[in-house]
Amino acid sequence: MPKVSLTVNGKPASAEVENRTLLVELLREHLRLTGTHVGCDTSQCGACVVHVNGASVKSCTMLAVQCEGAEVVTIEGLAAPDGTLHPMQEAFREYHALQCGFCTPGMVMSAIDLVQRNPQGLSDREIREGLEGNLCRCTGYHNIVRAIAAAQQVMHGKVKELPRAAE
Amino acid sequence: MGFEGIGASVRRREDLRFVSGRGTYTDDINRPGQLYAVILRSPHAHARIRGIDTAAAKAAPGVAAVFTGDEMAADGVGGLPCGWQVKNKDGTPMAEPPHPVLAVGKVRHVGDPVAVVIAETRSRARDAAELISVDYEVLPAVPTLEAAQKPGAPLVHDGVAGNICYDWHLGDKDAVDAAFAKAHKVARLELVNNRLIPNAMEPRAAVGEFDPMSGEYTLYTTSQNPHVIRLLMGAFVLHIPEHKLRVVAPDVGGGFGSKIYHYAEEAIVTWAAGKLKRPVKWTADRAESFMSDAHGRDHVTVAEMALDRDGRFLALRVRTQANMGAYLSTFAPCVPTYLYATLLAGVYTTPAIYAEVKAVFTNSVPVDAYRGAGRPEATFLLERLVDICALEMGMDRVEIRRRNFIPASAFPYQTPVALQYDSGDYTATLDACLKAADWAGFEARRAEAKRRGKLRGIGISTYIEACGIAPSAVVGSLGARAGLYEVANIRVNPTGSITVFTGTHSHGQGHETTFAQLIADQFGVPMSQVEIVHGDTARIPFGMGTYGSRSIAVGGSAMVKAAEKIIAKGKRIAAHLLEASADDIEFKDGKFQVAGTDRAKTLAEVSLAAYVPHNYPIEELEPGLEETAFYDPKNFTYPGGCHICEVEIDPDTGVVEVVNFTAVDDVGRVINPMIVEGQIQGGVAQGIGQALLETCVYDADGQLLSGSMMDYTMPRADDLPNITVGTAITLCTHNPLGVKGCGEVGAIGSPPAVIGAVVDALKDYGVRHLDMPATPHRLWQIINANRPRMAAE
């Protein structure tokens, strides 16, 4: 079986995998990083989104062996070592942008990439279009859009602290 | 510490683990030595199994075992039980054919499980499943209501004549016939309530485990009600007594009803773990979810309303056919009957109602409760029919509703279809919603849209639902085979922190937060002192789980009852410590105080005395401070309200954009407004999904055409609007908190508002009604077919 070596959340990792093993299987089954979820089998739902070399990728759509030497970041790798959450994680919590939490890891990883790719800032409509690849069945997206709109202000340095949601 | 009691939008305590990727969903659980199960499913909608050859699969690398339905049945494994028996018009029981965990003799829908392969890895199991050879004799299939009821149609179950599960009715036929005979006008509507596939984001999964030393089984499963699964699977399927069976429902990624039921895979992994003496895990891929999770809705209905000269409703007559699918799922029979026809009064004073419901077996996935369950079907029918009534009478849609509302002064209100509503104010929610949605300003917006070449429409729905499920004796008399109370165990720990064990289950609802707020409020302690435990039969005394918007109304009420017991005992302990009479002790702000004095003991002091009973009324009281309450509700709760939807249609493409959606709901007392708003927004999103996007499609052979997320249109962020939510509450009168429930109102109230808006936008095209979903293709056809006429006018 081929061996794949990569960096996951800043730490070196390697595993023997089958040729057909998907990146998400490598993460979940071999490395036991179960924060990345599998919600479908047709690359529609986005629950499995991680960052590979800085870009968001549906990890159900990439083979593990394609990740040789890659830098992979998963939801578990976002918070600072002292536990401080990434502004996007904090915003999801503050704006009640999750209910069951199953789509949340992929949603957060997609949203971070979306914001990073758009330093000019995104309108609510653009955020909705940017979430095309991620499904949520609980929230109706209303609060996800609000969370991303708030988080982008912090990520772009427009404000120092995350704006609080209205009571 | 900010205000965190009842009424505060406290941020959810479960979120830290979910945003950090540290939730524990069933597929995240891995047990030492675990094997993986893959289910071989039928590719045919209807076929006789002439033989199954598993030899090659058994010999494949890494395979531990292959089992078929015959082998499981031979080992004494029972069929999946149905939890509700509906009776026919003549009083005879419904047809209740067997539902084997793995098919025996015949397969009856695409996805019917045929065999299970258990191997060292999931891919090994999947490879081996492909080596199983099943000799099928394909039979003609009847996947739809229409096909299954044709004369001479093939039978899904050999013993079930005409494929009829039951033929049931409710109401006063004679009174209805008499009212129709003298009606000024009759409004008639034929409609379809489209079949939906729930698609919680987490696919179902199950891990079975057996400890040969203790003889104890453990099942981890994606369930909304672990105690119900333990009861059904233990008693009926695997014959494992409760004390040897633990069911854990850990973090669950959405349910919406689809994770209430006891499914075959739960029994298969538990049984196989016992046979193989190793843990066995099964996880559905999404394709399996589509063809094995219970579906929702699927009604065909004819409805007629008799009206007097003033537009008052005199009588309602409803004839519905409901698709049960190939087998009876756990609660399927009650959905199109007691959760549907009992709601047909809606918010109106209609004095006579008669409903007939025929439930039909078909070669399709079993149908059961999906968010709202019966109540969305009733609401869609009624609210669409009311719009047709307005049309027939030449009346305004709002005015005809107002004229027929049950007035706020009429509660408690007995409907002609069994329910007694306890409270509500439909004019208040209507007025608040009309104002919030700027109904009065709509025509200006329609004109403005027209200048942009868009067809704009507005729709309204005023609805009620019955939830807080349910009074046990009432549902028992209607055929339920279970009680529907709820259980709370409150343990005040020796140093005064509080652990609450609830039989409800949170799979997105935020119970760990809402219930902690409730308990903090009851005991006057900070939320940080309260822990909510749910989802494990080994830790929680008992419970019926979460569905039917019951958790706060039934589960929360159980907590209040248990808290009252704790406080009553605490008063006696405090009286002893303070050398006062228990009658003189008041409990307030976390303290037991001698009335009118400053002498008091904190909850922690009382608790410590209870666990270290050195100075304690030991002759009269047991040590410890822990109480359990079983709360059986006195009635259903009746949330209601008004939803208004505004759409714009592009006449060139038929694409509908929901431009505004406003909901004003009466959900009773609100514990956490942020969570309530989120529940309603999520429900509305599913309602808009049903109205515009989602539908399950079978072809004539029973193949599931909408069998993936590429084929079944799930609402995405850019399909949905911002959803404005308001509340205008009246309190429930029969539970201690005055709560009603908020989980389903969004999905119940919204579909007719959306379709009403689409119909309104197309009113110049001769459209009177549209079935769901109103897809671009259908709307474009309507618009295009009418273009010449429109141009000529």
Q: Is the dihedral of CA B229, B235, B237, B238 positive or negative?
A: positive
| Residue B604 lies inside a defined structural domain of this protein | yes
CA angle, A119 then A124 then A127, to 5°: 60
Question: For the segment B631-647, what is each residue's pLDDT rounded down to a tens digit?
Answer: 999 999 999 999 999 99
CATH architecture of A3-77: Roll (3.10)
Distance from CA of B9 to the nearest CA of A (A): 6
Query: At what angle are helices B375-393 and B397-404 packed, to 10 degrees?
Result: 110
What's the pLDDT at A1?
Answer: 87
Assess whether B745 and B659 both reside in one domain: yes
> Which residues does chain B have within 8 Å of residue A105's beta carbon, measured at their own beta carbons?
21
A93/B16 CB distance under 8 A = yes
Distance from CA of B724 to the nearest CA of A (A): 9
Distance from CA of B509 to the nearest CA of A (A): 6
> Which residues does chain B have within 8 Å of residue A143's beta carbon, measured at their own beta carbons?
678, 681
Question: Mean pLDDT, to the nearest integer, of B340-368?
Answer: 98
| Residue B178 lies inside a defined structural domain of this protein | no
| Residue B37 lies inside a defined structural domain of this protein | yes
| Residue B430 lies inside a defined structural domain of this protein | yes
What is the 3-state secondary structure of B418-436? Answer: CCEECCCCHHHHHHHHHHH
Residue B135 one-letter amino acid: D
pLDDT category at B791 given cuts 50, 70, 90 is: low
Q: Which residue, chain included where needed, has tokens 């197309």?
A: B762
What's the pLDDT at B787?
Answer: 77
> Which residues does chain A have within 8 Å of residue B679's beta carbon, measured at their own beta carbons?
99
Assess whether B209 and B69 both reside in one domain: yes
Distance from CA of A114 to the nearest CA of B (A): 14
DSSP string for A111-159: HHHHHHT-TT---HHHHHHHTTT---SSS-SHHHHHHHHHHHHHHTTS-
Distance from CA of A139 to the nearest CA of B (A): 4
Q: Which residue, chain included where needed, has tokens 């996951």?
A: A8
pLDDT category at B456 given cuts 50, 70, 90 is: very high
As a 3-state breakdown, chain B gives helix, strand, coil percent values, each rounded to 5, of 35, 25, 40
- A129 reaches B (C-beta below 8 A): yes
Q: Are B63 and B125 in contact (CB under 8 A)?
A: yes
DSSP string for A79-107: S-TT-PPPHHHHHHHHTT--SS-SSHHHH
For residue A77, what are its two tokens?
Answer: 């790798």
Distance from CA of B528 to the nearest CA of A (A): 18
A142/B199 CB distance under 8 A = no
Which chain A residue's Cα is nearest to B721? A142
Q: Are B477 and B778 in contact (CB under 8 A)?
A: no
pLDDT category at B1 given cuts 50, 70, 90 is: very low
Question: Mean pLDDT, to the nearest integer, of B12-29?
Answer: 98
Selecting from A39, A100, A135 the residue whose C-beta is nearest the C-beta of B716 gives: A135
Assess whether B462 and B567 both reside in one domain: no
B717/A134 CB distance under 8 A = yes
Q: Which residues contact B18 (CB under 8 A, 6 or more apart)?
A: A98, A101, A104, B251
Question: Mean pLDDT, to the nearest integer, of B520-524?
Answer: 96
What's the pLDDT at B338?
Answer: 96
> Looking at B631, B659, B675, which one is the last position of a domain?
B631
What's the pLDDT at B792?
Answer: 66
| Strand partners for B487 | B630
Q: Are B206 and B220 in contact (CB under 8 A)?
A: yes
Residues 94-113 of chain A with CB under 8 A from chain B are: 94, 96, 98-105, 108
Question: Mean pLDDT, to the nearest integer, of B598-604?
Answer: 97
Q: In angstroms, rounded to a whole number, what is the distance separating the alpha carbons of residues B70 and B64?
A: 18
Selecting from B253, B675, B715 the residue whose C-beta is nearest the C-beta of A102 gives: B253
**Pairing relationship of beta strands B245-248 and B216-221 according to DSSP bridges:** parallel
| Residue B112 lies inside a defined structural domain of this protein | yes
Selecting from A42, A93, A140 the residue whose C-beta is nearest the C-beta of B709 gives: A42
Q: In angstroms, rounded to a whole number, what is the distance separating the alpha carbons of residues B5 and B332?
A: 38
Distance from CA of B11 to the nearest CA of A (A): 7
Question: For the segment B741-773, what is each residue's pLDDT rounded down to a tens digit?
Answer: 999 999 999 999 999 999 999 999 999 999 999
| Residue B518 lies inside a defined structural domain of this protein | yes
Assess whether B281 and B318 both reside in one domain: no
CA angle, B74 then B79 then B83, to 5°: 160
For residue B206, what are its two tokens?
Answer: 């199950």
> Which residues does chain A have within 8 Å of residue B661's beta carbon, measured at their own beta carbons?
none
CA angle, A71 then A74 then A80, to 5°: 95
Please report which helix (H) or strand (E) contains residue B276, including its range: helix B264-276
Question: For the segment B473-507, what is each residue's pLDDT rounded down to a tens digit?
Answer: 999 999 999 999 999 999 999 999 999 999 999 99
pLDDT for residue B316 is more than 50? yes
Q: What is the mean pLDDT of chain B?
A: 97
Assess whether B457 and B330 both reside in one domain: yes
List own/partner pairs for B59-64 with CB under 8 A and 24 or more apart: B60/B119, B60/B124, B60/B127, B60/B128, B60/B131, B61/B124, B62/B119, B62/B120, B62/B121, B62/B124, B62/B125, B62/B128, B63/B117, B63/B118, B63/B119, B63/B124, B63/B125, B63/B128, B64/B35, B64/B118, B64/B119, B64/B120, B64/B276, B64/B278
pLDDT category at B793 given cuts 50, 70, 90 is: low
> Looking at B292, B313, B347, which one is the last position of a domain?
B292
| Residue B456 lies inside a defined structural domain of this protein | yes
Q: In angstroms, rounded to a whole number, what is the distance separating the alpha carbons of residues B115 and B113?
A: 6
Q: What percent of chain A has pLDDT over 70?
A: 99
B203/A100 CB distance under 8 A = no
Selecting from B18, B200, B679 the residue whose C-beta is nearest the C-beta of A137 gives: B200
> Which residues does chain B have within 8 Å of residue A148's beta carbon, measured at their own beta carbons?
none
As for how many domains chain B has, the answer is 3
What's the pLDDT at B216?
Answer: 98
Burial class from Cβ neighbours inside 10 Å (0-12, 13-18, 19+) for residue B21 reads: buried
Residue ranges per domain, chain A?
3-77, 87-155
Which chain A residue's Cα is nearest to B659? A125
Question: For the segment B171-204, what is each residue's pLDDT rounded down to a tens digit?
Answer: 999 999 999 999 999 999 999 999 999 999 999 9
A45/B23 CB distance under 8 A = no
For residue B24, what are its two tokens?
Answer: 């524990």
What's the pLDDT at B788?
Answer: 65
What's the pLDDT at B3?
Answer: 79
A138, A146, A167: best to mutate for the B interface, most B CBs within 10 A? A138
Residue range(s) defining the domain that contains residue B617: 485-631
DSSP string for B57-76: HHHSTTEEEEEEHHHHHHTT
DSSP string for B678-700: HHHHHHHHHHHIIIII----B-T
Question: Mean pLDDT, to the nearest integer, of B85-95?
Answer: 98
Question: Mean pLDDT, to the nearest integer, of B406-416?
Answer: 97
> Looking at B587, B603, B631, which one is the last position of a domain?
B631
A104/B18 CB distance under 8 A = yes
Assess whether B600 and B703 both reside in one domain: no
Beta strands in B194-279 (DSSP E): 205-211, 216-221, 245-248
Domain CATH code at residue B447: 3.30.365.10
Q: Which residues contact B545 (CB under 8 A, 6 or more apart)?
A: B223, B224, B225, B226, B227, B228, B260, B503, B504, B505
Tell me how long chain B is: 793
- B/e letters for B493-504, b = 16+ CB within 10 Å, e = fewer, are beebbbbbbbbb
A103, A104, A137, A143: best to mutate for the B interface, most B CBs within 10 A? A137
For residue A79, what are its two tokens?
Answer: 């918070």
pLDDT for residue B790 is more than 80? no
Assess whether B305 and B283 both reside in one domain: no
Please report which helix (H) or strand (E) contains residue A4, including its range: strand A3-8
Closest CA to B458 of B761, B763, B765: B761
pLDDT category at B2 given cuts 50, 70, 90 is: low
Q: In angstroms, rounded to a whole number, what is the distance separating the alpha carbons of residues B14 and A98?
A: 10
| Residue B449 lies inside a defined structural domain of this protein | yes
> Which residues does chain B have within 8 Å of residue A99's beta carbon, measured at their own beta carbons?
254, 508-510, 678-679, 682
Distance from CA of B561 to the nearest CA of A (A): 28
Which chain A residue's Cα is nearest to B744? A138
CATH architecture of A87-155: Orthogonal Bundle (1.10)
Within 10 angstroms of residue B758's Cβ, the number of other Cβ atoms is: 25
Domain CATH code at residue B223: 3.90.1170.50
Mark out the alpha helices in B88-192 (DSSP H runs). 122-129, 145-148, 173-181
Q: Which residue, chain included where needed, has tokens 């749910």?
A: B534
What's the pLDDT at B26?
Answer: 98
